[in-house]
Amino acid sequence: MKLLILGGTVFLGRYLVESALARGHEVTLFNRGQHSPQLYPAVEKLRGDRDGALDALRGRRWDAVVDTSGYVPRVVRASAELLADAVEHYTFISSISVYPHFRSVGLDESAPVGTLDDPAVEEITGETYGPLKALCEQAVERALTGRALVIRPGLIVGPHDYSDRFTYWVRRVAQGGELLAPAHPNWHTQIIDVRDLAEWTLHMVERQQVGVYNATGPDYDLTIGQLLDTCRTVSGSDARFTWVSEEFLADKEVTPWVELPLWIPQSDPDMLGFSDVSCAKAIAAGLAFRDLAATMRDTLAWDSTQADTAEPPARALQLRAGLAPDREAELLRAWHNRK
């Protein structure tokens, strides 16, 4: 199969490339060449910009395209319309953030998506990200009616995740000692290993599957307690978990999802089912999950190399998400000293 990937050098994109090459496909990348341009020297690389500089794509044909880097409907519409006669199949990587709320447990693909009061808005914020992704989906579906696959992942984790929302927990547990943990150990969470998502995406592309699929995991109820216990086992640390209440975290103005990744307050009725999204449709279509310990082990091994890497978009040892050590220590003191 001749496969075009829009992006292809950051996180999910790079694993799509590696998986596609391992499967024997002929891969072409289209991107600006700003992130890790040294990757995949034997792969054809077309340079351009999705916002107005698509000339490198003109006059070419591929069997399929995977769009990993679409966020603005106008920009996605331009590439989808240009490629409509150049490919047989178009995959758009969206997000479960398209759903405006998660008031019910087991939300599936039939749920309505978010909208914008002004659909011409292009600034990406916490409020506009999901509705913009929904508009991108619609642009692809209009341009390639009956030939579009839309995948809505949850939190993607694993090696080369520079958001640090999962890496924070892996590194912090490995450091050992007393650790502040949110809410209670039976609180549900959902994640998907980037490599599992990449493999399944290509499985769907190869079969020219169409439609909309939520894609997160695992295929059992994963609790934050299980996740942290697995971190401790994999790292062999002496971490001790101190579970603090959501009321305490709110009082101390701890930012959900940012200072404490994976944590979404259950006191918010709009987010009640955020960590219980249904992926039954994707699982029935072949989505499978590796063992959680393997994801932990590989993430920890990758993270241990980050102090010395110059790989863009490299970051220092200070994580982009999670509690700073002083902040965590301060919160733990306050928790233990509360009256």
Strand order in the sheet with 44-47: 44-47, 26-31, 2-6, 64-67, 89-93, 148-153, 211-215
CA distance 193 to 202: 15
Q: Which of 161, 156, 230 is nearest to 191 (CA)?
A: 156
Distance, in Å, from the CA atom of 178 to the CA atom of 329, rounded to the nearest integer, reads 9
What's the pLDDT at 317?
Answer: 52
pLDDT tens digits, one per residue of 1-45:
999 999 999 999 999 999 999 999 999 999 999 988 999 999 999
**Calpha distance 221→24 (Å, rounded):** 35
pLDDT at 188: 95
Q: Give the whole-angstrom CA distance, residue 191 versus residue 154.
A: 6
Which backbone phi and psi does 65 adopt, to 5 degrees?
-130, 140
Q: How far apart are CA 121 and CA 113, in angstroms?
A: 17
Rounded Cα distance between 233 and 212, Å, is: 36
pLDDT value of residue 318: 65
Residue ranges of the chain whose pLDDT lies below 70: 307-318, 339
H helices of 93-154, in order, are 129-143
Position 267 scores a pLDDT of 87
| Alpha-helix runs per DSSP H in 259-306 | 280-284, 292-303
pLDDT attached to residue 310:
44
CA dihedral 14, 282, 165, 198 (to 10 degrees): -10
- For residue 321 the two structure tokens come to 């998400």
In the beta sheet, which residues pair with residue 38? none
> Which pLDDT belongs to residue 320?
85
* Two tokens, residue 112: 């309505």
For residue 26, what are the contacts with CB-CB under 8 A and spacing of at least 6?
1, 2, 3
Domains parsed from the chain with CATH numbers:
2-157+192-217 (3.40.50.720), 167-189+221-272+292-337 (no CATH)
Contact 67, 90 (CB under 8 A): yes
Closest CA to 215 of 99, 103, 130, 93: 93
pTM of structure: 0.95
